[in-house]
Amino acid sequence: MQEVASVKAALKAQQIELPSWAFANTGTRFKVFAQPGVPRTPLEKIDDAAQVQRFTGVAPSVALHIPWDKVSDYGGLAKYAADAGLSIGTINANVFQDDDYRLGSVANPDPRVRGKAIGALLECVDVMDATGSRDLKLWFADGTNYPGQDDIRGRQDRLAEALAQVYERLGPDQRMLLEYKFFEPAFYTTDVPDWGTALTQCLATGDRALVVVDTGHHAPGVNIEFIVAMLLRAGRLGGFDFNSRFYADDDLMVGAADPFQLFRILREVVRAGALVPRDAGGTGESTPGGDIAFMLDQCHNIEPKIPGQIRSVMNVQEATAKALLVDPDALAAAQQAGDVLGANAVLMDAYNTDVRPLLAEVRQEVGLDPDPYRAYLASGNQERIIADRVGGTPASW
Ligand code: RM4
Ligand code: MN
């Protein structure tokens, strides 16, 4: 069995990053349902993220999306976050919501549009400099809808050129995270559709170009933990965008659709000793490719947003605790002996453990309420923001 003390230490050292956009009004292409009390400004999004951190204690950073979180003073924004006990996490570049990007951004056939997109990415690096953010996350909506529409290889060349140009601008401690997604909004080819393409582009770009696995960005049935194991082995896993999907890129709460898959993914992370960041204590050690950013990338379209984020963090913690409970010696022995059922049982024993009491203890040991979700509901914050945030324009897509 795993030492309870080391499991607890790892759970206390775990860090999960919150997406600023999770607190905004979001929806499908059919309807965005507005919710009362939604933040009107990036500062109010930080206030909401601070609530999640206040009750969970493992969510100390918030990711921004530019231009959704555009402000005139990024240093001031970072200071505001620091005063709220948070740091600014990953900077997400949005080069998909401008008319110019109809045929793509960095892979667009028009050099003028490519230049504009690269300019937007370089601006994100300025934001990183001003906020102290480490990671630039790139997701491109680029692709084509019809066979013959554009040259598949030419688009890869344009993409490579853009990545190289932006990489060049990064500071020595900054990283580029490249995210893939198999389709949507493009329906025929997508320029970064899978981990093979993302990894190939990263390898050509540089050591600090790493792949991001968004759990919702795969075809049904894809073995995501296998991809995670491969990227970890190559030292090229930069981070996760956690969410769940029943069908496509559903952006539902992580652990809601398939907690077993989440466990299997986190088990590979634990197996690689990559759970907790460098210098954070606990049992993990960093991988050669650098630390892994554990980010949520979700939309709470019909459920309340702060509680949705708290529930998501708790879901990641539960899957992590189970992954930490896998007995590596018993597993290795069973694998070595060719004991198929025995090896599987080691994993399933861990997965089937009710880890909620353990997590309640962990929280109490660091002075938190054992049940962050109920504690938040009882705190009165939801009523307060609903009463306070009247007027203005709620943040939305
Ligand atoms: C994309 C991708 C990005 C996220 C945007 C909102 O599908 O997952 O990570 O920033 O959506
Ligand atoms: Mn994502």
Residues 6+ apart with CB under 8 A from 338: none
Does the pLDDT of residue 11 top 70, yes or no?
A: yes
Decide if 25 contacts 302 (C-beta within 8 A): no
pLDDT at 281: 47
Q: How far apart (Å, rounded) are the C-alpha atoms in residues 60 and 81?
A: 10
Region 99-128: what's the mean pLDDT?
98
pLDDT at 278: 59
CA of 100 to the centre of ligand 2 (A): 22
Q: How far apart (Å, rounded) are the C-alpha atoms in residues 120 and 116?
A: 6
CA of 93 to the centre of ligand 1 (A): 9
Does this model's pTM top 0.85? yes
CA of 386 to the centre of ligand 2 (A): 28
Of 179, 183, 249, the one to substitute when testing ligand 1's pocket (max ligand atoms within 8 A of C-beta) is: 179
C-beta of 80 in contact with ligand 1 (< 6 A): no
CA of 391 to the centre of ligand 1 (A): 28
Neighbouring C-beta atoms of residue 206, cutoff 10 Å? 15
Of 92, 94, 105, 137, the one to substitute when testing ligand 1's pocket (max ligand atoms within 8 A of C-beta) is: 92
CA of 355 to the centre of ligand 1 (A): 31
pLDDT band with cut points at 50, 70 and 90 for residue 397: confident
Atom in ligand 1 nearest the alpha carbon of residue 94: 10
Residues 6+ apart with CB under 8 A from 304: 35, 382
Region 20-46: what's the mean pLDDT?
97
Nearest to 270 by CA among 9, 1, 10: 10
244-272 per-position pLDDT tens digit: 999 999 999 999 999 999 999 999 999 99
Nearest to 206 by CA among 168, 152, 237, 179: 168
Question: Atom 2 (ligand 1): residue with closest C-alpha?
Answer: 139
C-beta of 61 in contact with ligand 1 (< 6 A): no
Expressed in angstroms, the distance from the first to the final Cα of the chain is 47
- Residue 194 is encoded by which pair of tokens? 């899978």
CA of 9 to the centre of ligand 2 (A): 29
Question: Atom 3 (ligand 1): residue with closest C-alpha?
Answer: 139
pLDDT at 303: 98
Q: How far apart (Å, rounded) are the C-alpha atoms in residues 81 and 17?
A: 13
C-beta of 249 in contact with ligand 1 (< 6 A): yes
Of 241, 301, 397, the one to substitute when testing ligand 1's pocket (max ligand atoms within 8 A of C-beta) is: 241
357-390 per-position pLDDT tens digit: 999 999 999 999 999 999 999 999 999 999 999 9
CA of 297 to the centre of ligand 1 (A): 7
Q: How far apart (Å, rounded) are the C-alpha atoms in residues 31 and 40?
A: 19
Q: SS3 sequence, the chain?
A: CCCHHHHHHHHHHCCCEEEHHHHCECECCCCECCCCCCCCCHHHHHHHHHHHHHHHCCCCEEEEEECCCCCCCHHHHHHHHHHCCCEEEEEEECCCCCHHHHHCCCCCCCHHHHHHHHHHHHHHHHHHHHHCCCEEEECCCCEECCCCCCCHHHHHHHHHHHHHHHHHHCCCCCEEEEECCCCCCCCCEECCCCHHHHHHHHHHHCCCEEEEEECCCCCCCCCHHHHHHHHHHCCCEEEEEECECCCCCCCECCCCCCHHHHHHHHHHHHHCCCCCCCCCCCCCCCECCECCEEEECCCCCCCCHHHHHHHHHHHHHHHHHHHHHCCHHHHHHHHHCCCHHHHHHHHHHHHCCCCHHHHHHHHHHCCCCCCHHHHHHHHCHHHHHHHHCCCCCCCEC
Question: Atom 9 (ligand 1): residue with closest C-alpha?
Answer: 139
Arithmetic mean of pLDDT over the chain: 96
